[in-house]
Amino acid sequence: MTIRVAADGSALGNPGPAGWAWYVDDTCWAAGGWKHATNNQAELTAVLQFFRATAHLDDDLLILCDSQYVINCVTKWLPGWKSKGWRKADGKPVMNVDLLQEIDTELPGRQYRFEWVKGHANHPLNEAADSRARAVSEAYQRGATIPAGPGFVRAGDGAVGRPLEPRPSPARLTESTPAIPAAPPPSLFDFDEPSSRQSDGAETVDVIVTLTAVEFERLAARARTRGVRAEQVLRDLI
């Protein structure tokens, strides 16, 4: 089965109050945004959030975008940027690198393709995504309630939960202030003086996990998608 979705973004003033949205149908869509971000950040986030929302599925994905920038980033430029340490051919840092890195982590094992559609040309799915993204940006502009949508819901699946809102940092970025990848933490697990306790008759050991904000959000998104606690996602890796 192929899931057909439109992903779009809106930024009033670009940068300014911004919203992103992906739309499958009136019962299956999601939206979010920030008080201040660029249109490209919103467009990329719409794609990222759809990948996250469907991480539990093995369906083929057809993603409709009116942004050639987004399509080229994911399908053409990303591998080369990654191999060069997230720098462009001229040596300058890649714009919106944090979002691109997060999208990159969602791609392995996924069956997807992008299709360009002309914006504001009465394409039903594109118009639906665009109107929802703009509604979020306008809500942030007015200080009103954000229309977040039901998330990914498909007959037989039940409510999967809304995609996790992206961290606030993209809202502070502009096209003139490129992001530089943060250095990874020195250690993921801290085993200093683990404490043992009894749980259901079995001895357990408390392990402290140190995660970056990006890692934590990725973990939380996968936990929400599966409907389990974050601890269970980690436990399943063992």
DSSP H helices, 54-168, are: 68-72, 78-83, 97-106, 124-142
Residue 36 known to be catalytic: no
Residue 130 known to be catalytic: yes
CA distances from residue 54 to 33, 129, 200, 225, 226 in whole angstroms, order as listed: 19, 17, 34, 8, 10
DSSP state of 1: -
Among residues 9, 19, 32, 161, the one annotated as catalytic is 9
Among residues 120, 143, 193, 203, the one annotated as catalytic is 120
Among residues 19, 32, 36, 66, the one annotated as catalytic is 66
Residue 123 known to be catalytic: no
CA 123 – CA 118 distance, rounded (Å): 8
Among residues 19, 102, 130, 149, the one annotated as catalytic is 130
DSSP state of 93: B
Q: Which residues of 26-52 are buried (b: 16+ CB within 10 A; e: fewer)?
A: eebbbbbbbebbbbbbbbbbbbbbbbb
Residue 8 known to be catalytic: yes
Residue 116, H or E segment: strand 112-116
Residue 58 known to be catalytic: no
Residue 120 known to be catalytic: yes
Among residues 43, 98, 102, 106, the one annotated as catalytic is 43
- As annotated, the active-site residues are 8-9, 43, 66, 120, 130
